[in-house]
Structure formats: C-alpha cells, structure tokens
Structure 1
C-alpha cells in the first residue's frame, strides 16, 4: 500500500500495488493548523489497515511540518486514542461541539 499526500485535492490517498484507490483522508490547512475532516476506505479494502495507514501518514506529515492537528474525523479521533505518541500535536479543549 502506498500513501501519498495530494495537496491539490486536500487529501492523502492510499493506493494498492496496481494503483487502485483504496482510501482517502481529507484535510484542510490554515497556517500551521491542519484539520482532518474525513477518512473513507473503499469496500474491497476494509479491515486491511488502510485507514490506520492513512491516519499514521497524516500524523507523521503534520509532525514533520510542525503542525497542530484538529481531528474532526471520527476515525482519526478513535485512532489517536490508541496512539498517545501523537497527543502533544493535537489541539484539545474542554468544550465539546455536538
């Protein structure tokens, strides 16, 4: 699986060895803040770690660029709970938006 940032589309893409799109993680950047908005995995690639690979690549990209992360995407929020090594990069507040 290859993960690639496609900034002109505002997303990371996961593609298999044949080049088929396996999943995407969309984002928006404002200055040094990146908001992860949505993750989706194509049905034929579900339960194969594609979403996790996308989340990790996105977080490593944010780390390399010294960005603060605002995870709106439910998948990324859940993934981050299992990866406390990224906690210092995540914007946190005591207010909850529903």
Structure 2
C-alpha cells in the first residue's frame, strides 16, 4: 500500500493519504521561525500496522531538513522513531547539561 504525505499548513499538520485519498494518519506541529515541534502522531485504526507512522516520520523529517529547520520531537512516537534513525540527529534539538 502506498501513502502520499502532504503538508496542510492551515491545519498545522502533515497528512498521509492512501491511493483512494482516504486519510490514514497525521503528524501535528507547531512552527516558530526555523524551529518545528512535532507534537502528535495519530494513525487511523484501519491503517495501523501498515507503515503509515514510519512513512509520516520520514516525510516530516525530510521536509524539515529540506527547509533547514530544527526539529523538536515532542511526540513520543516520533522521538522513538528518531532513536532508530540517527541519520536525522543533525537537525534534532538536543538538550545539554550545564556543568
């Protein structure tokens, strides 16, 4: 099954749709200047287990990289996905302890 991911800025989210146009899942965000915080990922139960979450995660991260944005992964799903994809570390905001 193929999914197309598009930005819906009027809704502050990215949307994944299947070949028929059915909404399969979304990633919501808050954009402030060059920083984008991904706040929530939601997959329609009908599409769970079909790779929608991973498709969305890769698409939103590739979009952030292409636009030169820094990512703040508030969403637990996206944070976990990023833990398995270190190729995006360079655009993810990192906390540092002050000594």
When normalised by structure 1's length, the TM-score is: 0.94
Give the secondary-structure state (helix, strand or coil) at the position aligned to 1:48.
coil
Q: Which residue of 2 aligns with 1:87?
A: 89
Q: Distance in 2 between matches of 1:55 and 1:11?
A: 12
Q: Cα distance, 1:94 vs. partner? A: 3.8
Gaps of at least 5 residues in structure 2 are: none
Matched, 1:31 2:33: yes
Q: Cα distance, 1:46 vs. partner? A: 0.2
Question: Where do residues 1-98 of structure 1 align in structure 2 (5 Å cutoff)?
Answer: 1-94=3-96
1:14-57 CA distance string (max 9 Å, x none): 01111110000000100000000000000010011101110111
When normalised by structure 2's length, the TM-score is: 0.93
Q: How many residues align?
A: 95
Q: Distance in 1 between matches of 2:44 and 2:50?
A: 11
Runs of 4+ in 1 over 4 A off after TM superposition: none
> RMSD across aligned C-alpha pairs, in angstroms?
0.9
Gaps of at least 5 residues in structure 1 are: none
